[in-house]
Amino acid sequence: MKGWRAKFGIIVPSSNTTIEPELHEMIPKGSGISIHSSRIKIIEDTEDQIKSLINYVENATSLLKDANVDIVAFGCTAGSFIGGPSYDEKIIKLMEDVAKVPATTTSTSVVKALKELEISKISVVSPYEDWLNEKLKAFFEAHGFTVLKIKGLGIVKDIAHVHPELVYRFARKVYDPCSDGLFISCTDFRTIEILDLLEHDLGKPVVSS
């Protein structure tokens, strides 16, 4: 049986075509861990559509509960910070109340990863428009981080179509050398191919959604 060791449930934005293959790529063969997804409706990264994601969380979680997953993750970065610094906790509570197993969100996990790496001053790159980057900056600052630089590509759809080479060059251009590390936001941004290269070339830790 697949997932004999652990079954990982992930709630995925319906237009996202990156997070699932990247997760599968990161899990070693023979690990006994399986990934099971449930999708929630979003086509573009507009404020209304991102804010509406929370309305689908309970139903998406209930479908994952049917698969007896051991943990549930909300796999949208913007969808878990758009409501402010404690918005991710609200989503976690919704998922845990339904699934009766531990839950997390992308934003929650990013904060934990940055703190584990002792990163306090960060540069941030994203596919987002400026208004959404401002919300991301406020989220980080509320969690004690200093955002030295943040820049987005200003796109709202087809984010997975952005080639990793472009993301790499954009990150190199935006990165402030005074930063302790770099964060690349959005689970639909293709980054797994370039993370090691960026860490090598910047000489600093790189965390992605």
What is the average per-residue pLDDT within 53-75? 98
Question: Is the model's pLDDT at 90 over the cut of 70?
Answer: yes
CATH topology of domain 108-208: Rossmann fold (3.40.50)
pLDDT tens digits for range 41-59: 999 999 999 999 999 999 9
Name the band, by pLDDT with cuts 50, 70 and 90, for residue 30: confident
Write down the residue that tokens 């584990």 correspond to: 116
- pLDDT of residue 20 exceeding 90, the answer is yes
Kindly report whether the global pTM for this prediction surpasses the value 0.75: yes
Domain(s) of CATH 3.40.50.1860: residues in the chain: 108-208
- pLDDT above 80 (res 2): no
Residues of the chain with CATH 3.40.50.12500: 6-105
Q: Is the pLDDT of residue 1 over 70?
A: no
pLDDT digits (tens, 9 = 90+) for 143-180: 999 999 999 999 999 999 999 999 999 999 999 999 99
Mention the CATH class of domain 6-105. Answer: alpha beta
pLDDT bucket at 31, cuts 50 / 70 / 90: confident
Q: For residues 28-50, give the mean pLDDT.
A: 94
What amino acid is encoded at 52 in this protein? S
